[in-house]
Structure 1
Amino acid sequence: MTGTPSTEWDPRAREVLDDQIAAYDELRGRCPVAHSDFLDWSVLRHDDVVRVLDDPQTFSNAVTDRLTVPNGMDAPEHTEFRRINDKYFTPALMNDFEPRCRAICADIVDDAPRGVATDLMPAVAEIFAPRVQNAFLGWPADLEEPLRRWTAKNRVATLAQDRPAMAAIAVEFDGFIRDLLSVRRQAGDAAPQDLTTLLLSERVWDRPMTDEELVSLLRNWTVGELSTISASVGILAHHLAVHPTTQQLLRDDPTLIGAANDEILRMNAPLIANRRVTTRQVDVGGQVIDAGERVTVLWASANRDESVFGDPDEFRLDRKPEDNLVYGRGLHACPGAPLARLELRVFVEEFLARTTDISYPSATAPTRAHYPGGGFATLPLVLR
């Protein structure tokens, strides 16, 4: 490693985990590129993060030997597999899925208790994420609870960096997908005509996709979706509860919900970070980083950079959309962003339409989620 790390910090220290957003705000102000054993080099400022995202030749996405389609690839592999990925997130497919998504939202909101403090995470958010994902992919309803349990185990193992547990959890998830692919192959022409079945006919470089590639692509869609969508639902609900003026604004004009969601998630990130690895020696924010070093892009910090957003906690709908990095940027922007935006817009529309008030009980405080998750672990709210 060339040079001395700008600072040493512990991303898993209690004071950081208790309030990741505040910790990153403080760190960004005194050290825009920080070093830790857990995250290696963490990039916190908006302009430095944009530089990383806009230079995939220097900051590679191929951070692991494990096949990760398409996000863990560089060109030309990324280009070919992203072509397949993006066929499943077109405006036409999103429009087709919207009625099913809306029905799921309506059922979940209608089932939530009224008039009493209820933890919205298990009661709503953690039900919505796997249910809507299963519906999009055509997966069976009885997979919903195993996916919820899997997501919780994966979060704990990742925070602890328990490598054996992480490996076992990965194998478990791949087993879910292999079983789903096997069922469809065995059914032949009788297989359900869902997106998972359609994937079986995809070809890359004029050859069929391998099972490893199919499993990896579906894993990438699902793992990211389960954790970030449930976190996003909690973040959006919390903001509406503690900001009644914004809640009323969106009740009065639901056409603002999509832009409002992006702004709220800018302030409080559902996905904390992503990794890159340097391909050459490079200077980032005045810190020299050698080739082969791990770099962590901290979305939760960059999207609150005062030099770009002023007061990062000020809710504004007139910001430049391109400054908001909640769905990434450039070649490796979130592959499922169209679906995520649809799901969250429809959820908030139904959440507001099927309630008259969302409030925050002062007697019971929420608890924040720990890295790698964002948002809240518990979120007591009162719905009316």
Structure 2
Amino acid sequence: MFDPHSPDLSPERAYALYDELRTSCPVSRGENHGGYWSLSRYEDVRAAALDHETYSSTGGVYLPPVSDSRFPPIDYDPPEHAGFRELIAPLTSGAAAKAMEPMIRGSVEAMVDGFVDRGSADLVEELAVPLPLDVITHLYGLDPQRAEDIRGYSLEFLEHAGGPKGREVIDRVCAYWMELFAQRRRDPQDDFITHLVQAEHGADDPTLANMMFILTYAGHDSTALGLSNTLLYLAEHPEVQEQLIERPRLVVTAVDEILRYETPLHWFPRNLTRDTSMAGQEMKAGDRVVLLFASANRDPEVFDRADEVVIDRRPNRHVAFGAGIHTCPGMALARAEIRIAVETVLRRIPGFRVDGTVERTDPLEGGGRHLGVRTLPVTW
């Protein structure tokens, strides 16, 4: 049985458990947290993610729920979902990500400037965490102090996402955003927050505050997780660094492959809207279903050498960003940030390697879902 809140759910234990489930019980039942099913095979996970009419997202993205409120757009199905995705398109479209690339590149270069002459760094503290914060601050038009606020409440929520204090954190953060909305109404700026409060979308401030909470939390922490996993893998595999330096066009496929192999967000839940069956297992309307995206990404029926990193893997149909209408809206921006960061460190500190104690998310954080690196000391 998969239990996201198990205290021994280390990354190694999680992937071993996924192997067991795919082989012996691809649709498993857990009775904790109100009861739920877990889907572990790629084809089943992807099919459920694509079928939003049966597998609804309106029950929330945590197990058990962490708030009585819903977080747009991830907790909404059509037709409301499309309206929220349109509202955030200026931040999340492929064109927006492309336009941000010069800013991202400048930010990465400045961060590497801060440690390149030292010969050592913590690549999480000095790059993987501050880079997405810098990007979000720029996107929203916020001052640097806001970035510190965002990181602070995200760390607090990560610690308490599985318990009752998580609700308190969310309530406090939503009040923070509503105060910022009020400031922008009093003193409009040329930024996304002003656009948001002036747009005719029909959503009230509490709904918009919940949207900003989840966008900001996911937009920087999940990117930091993906970047930290990638940098750790490269630090531990100097031969891969050499390949990417010799063949820089492989950076794009290598980043995607490491995201498959070390999926930052392991699962998301759904609610069944009607009776259905999967892999011969009958499930009832109203049941909770957990889609194990990280397990799907290691399914040997889909990925040859699934438990290895194949840096030139093509095609790579991984679901690290989800699938269907709830595919991560910030996917293009996250990919750009990770790619540019990798390109830069390979050029400026080639041969970087682990030198010290690496701290991973063990057990998985954020309610049992987040896989990343919290400290990554390296030298070159």
Match of residue 337 from structure 1: 331
Deviation at residue 294 of structure 1 after TM alignment: 0.9
Query: Share of identical aligned residues, percent?
Result: 28
For the 8 Å contact 1:234–1:375, the answer to whether it is kept is no
Deviation at residue 246 of structure 1 after TM alignment: 1.9
SS of residue paired to 1:309:
coil
Find the partner of 1:203 among 200, 205, 208: 200
Deviation at residue 49 of structure 1 after TM alignment: 0.4
Q: Distance in 2 between matches of 1:68 and 1:42?
A: 22
Match of residue 135 from structure 2: 132
What TM-score results when the alignment is normalised by the length of structure 1? 0.88
**Deviation per residue, 1:186-233 (Å, 9 max, x gap):** 113xx2x122222223233xxx44223322332231111122111111
What TM-score results when the alignment is normalised by the length of structure 2? 0.88
The letter for the 1-side match of 2:163 is D
Q: Does 1:167 align with 2:154?
A: no
Instruction: Report how many aligned residue pairs link the two structures.
Output: 365
Q: Does 1:348 align with 2:342?
A: yes
Deviation at residue 365 of structure 1 after TM alignment: 4.6
The letter for the 1-side match of 2:159 is V
Q: Distance in 2 between matches of 1:365 and 1:221?
A: 28
Deviation at residue 16 of structure 1 after TM alignment: 2.1
Q: Distance in 2 between matches of 1:269 and 1:220?
A: 19
Q: Distance in 1 between matches of 2:253 and 2:8?
A: 32
For the 8 Å contact 2:27–2:39, the answer to whether it is kept is yes
Q: Distance in 2 between matches of 1:237 and 1:22?
A: 23
For the 8 Å contact 1:104–1:131, the answer to whether it is kept is yes
SS of residue paired to 2:21:
helix
Match of residue 274 from structure 1: 268
The letter for the 1-side match of 2:15 is I
Deviation at residue 377 of structure 1 after TM alignment: 4.0
Q: Distance in 2 between matches of 1:166 and 1:366?
A: 23
Q: Distance in 2 between matches of 1:84 and 1:146?
A: 24
Find the partner of 2:43 among 43, 47, 53: 47
Deviation at residue 349 of structure 1 after TM alignment: 1.8
Q: Distance in 2 between matches of 1:86 and 1:76?
A: 16
SS of residue paired to 1:80:
helix
Q: Distance in 2 between matches of 1:87 and 1:149?
A: 26
**Deviation per residue, 1:84-129 (Å, 9 max, x gap):** 222432343223322211121112223237444x543333322223
Structure 1 residues 108, 67: CA separation in 2 closer, same or farther (over 3 Å shift)? same
Structure 1 residues 297, 200: CA separation in 2 closer, same or farther (over 3 Å shift)? same
Structure 1 range deviating more: 347-356 or 258-267: 347-356
Structure 1 residues 253, 197: CA separation in 2 closer, same or farther (over 3 Å shift)? farther
**Deviation per residue, 1:122-163 (Å, 9 max, x gap):** 3332222322211222121012222222112111212xx212
Deviation at residue 9 of structure 1 after TM alignment: 4.5
Match of residue 291 from structure 1: 285
For the 8 Å contact 2:253–2:313, the answer to whether it is kept is no
Q: Distance in 2 between matches of 1:177 and 1:351?
A: 35
Deviation at residue 378 of structure 1 after TM alignment: 3.4
Match of residue 63 from structure 2: none
Structure 1 range deviating more: 8-17 or 104-113: 8-17
Q: Distance in 1 between matches of 2:82 and 2:27?
A: 30
Match of residue 64 from structure 2: none
Find the partner of 1:327 among 315, 321, 327: 321
**Deviation per residue, 1:226-254 (Å, 9 max, x gap):** 22111111101011112222212222333
SS of residue paired to 2:10:
helix
Q: Distance in 2 between matches of 1:185 and 1:54?
A: 39
For the 8 Å contact 1:241–1:381, the answer to whether it is kept is no
Match of residue 27 from structure 1: 21
Structure 1 range deviating more: 118-127 or 216-225: 118-127
Structure 1 range deviating more: 332-341 or 16-25: 16-25
Match of residue 372 from structure 2: 376
For the 8 Å contact 2:136–2:220, the answer to whether it is kept is yes
Gaps of 5+ in 2: 61-67
